[in-house]
Structure 1
Amino acid sequence: MDTTTPSIGPAQRRLTARQLTMWRSLMDTMEELSRRLTAQLQQVGLSRGDYLVMLTLSEAARHHLRSSELADAIGWQRSRLSHHLGRMERRRLVRREECPTDSRGTVVAITDEGLRSFRLASAPHLRAVKHYFADALTEQQLEELESILDAVRARLADPD
């Protein structure tokens, strides 16, 4: 019998106590980081969702995207995005227009007022990200985290 490749029994397929502790720590840390960054954005009148939408639009060519592309880019369902965009439109942060190449589609564009709000929020938001995240880690830890995140993303991309 070949003993170099041990079989994996049912108990070995479960999370170890250490793995479970690290998972819980990751969830708790991400929740607290999210809470603090969200509170910082709310000080300038934006939600985390507002910032995510405007960040994505600000990075897009001519500051607009098809609604379906925007939903895919931020990982939201189209109905969630539609409701959120309605709230943002009422505050004049974005506007929706008919897609010039597809009458069934909608294009979402960030307005001048939206760009101003986004720029006003970005400096303090990025300072908070630097303070709570980047400054807490050494260069070596950042490299290790990059490797860890690459491994998790690769697993997520694996169809199982």
Structure 2
Amino acid sequence: MDSPSASPAVGPGADEETPWLTAQEQRLWRAHLDVSRLLEYQLGRELQPYGLAMNDYEILVVLSEEPKRRMRMTDLATATLQSKSRLSHQVTRMEKAGLLVREGCPGDRRGLYAVLTDAGWETLRKVAPAHVRSVRHHFVDRFDADQVSALYEALAPVAEHLRALRGRG
């Protein structure tokens, strides 16, 4: 966690072993938090007219990229960083909207697949162009080609590190 002030001596615990963020590092961290939160908020607002939340859209995309547009619920929870309970509630809501269905897994009576319906696929096809335009407008187009490459090179190792930690349970 970052220190609430620029001076490590007044930070929480104020111990010598805590590697407090420098002012520049703290600006970077807070800018990252702002961008993450504000971008997700804005993209979510722009999905509302379609009756979707960001998590709904993510699930539609993940399922659309799978063979037979289906995925085990446990794997879908992992892929979308949701608890099984939260995903189950969301899937119930999406089922009621006709976007997906749950099907049993052959050979595993307790396992379930989430399956994208034709209506879910059509919804995704309708929404995706507007969503991509929003991502481009609010994020990608804010950078030139060199910045896009530099940001990818800077962020990819962080994502890789966090994925590896997630894999450890």
- Structure 2 length normalisation: TM-score? 0.83
Determine the C-alpha separation between the residues in 2 that align with 1:30 and 1:94: 28
* Alignment pair present for 1:57 and 2:47: no
Determine the C-alpha separation between the residues in 2 that align with 1:12 and 1:47: 39
Paired position in structure 1 for 2:101: 95
1:83 to 65, 85, 89: 89
Paired position in structure 2 for 1:73: 79
1:149 to 148, 152, 155: 155
Determine the C-alpha separation between the residues in 2 that align with 1:152 and 1:61: 29
SS of aligned partner of 2:21: coil
Alpha-carbon distance, 1:153 to partner: 2.3
Paired position in structure 1 for 2:11: none
SS of aligned partner of 1:14: coil
Determine the C-alpha separation between the residues in 1 that align with 2:18 and 2:43: 38
SS of aligned partner of 1:43: helix
Alignment of 1:8-157 (within 5 A): 10=16, 13-156=19-162, 157=164
Paired position in structure 2 for 1:6: none
Runs of 4+ aligned residues of structure 1 deviating over 2 Å after TM superposition are: 9-12, 153-159
SS of aligned partner of 1:117: helix
- Structure 1 length normalisation: TM-score? 0.88
Alpha-carbon distance, 1:72 to partner: 1.0
In the alignment of these two chains, the number of paired residues is 151
| 1:86-144 superposed Cα distances (whole Å, 9 cap, x missing partner) | 11111111100111131110011011111111111101000111111111111110111
SS of aligned partner of 1:13: coil
Structure with more contact order per residue of length (Cα contacts < 8 Å, sep ≥ 6): 1
Question: For residue 32 of structure 2, what is the amino acid of its counterpart?
Answer: L
Determine the C-alpha separation between the residues in 2 that align with 1:11 and 1:69: 39
SS of aligned partner of 2:159: helix
Alpha-carbon distance, 1:73 to partner: 1.1
Determine the C-alpha separation between the residues in 2 that align with 1:10 and 1:151: 28
In structure 2, runs of 5+ residues without a counterpart are: 1-14
Identity %: 35
Aligned-residue Cα RMSD (Å) equals 1.7
SS of aligned partner of 2:50: coil
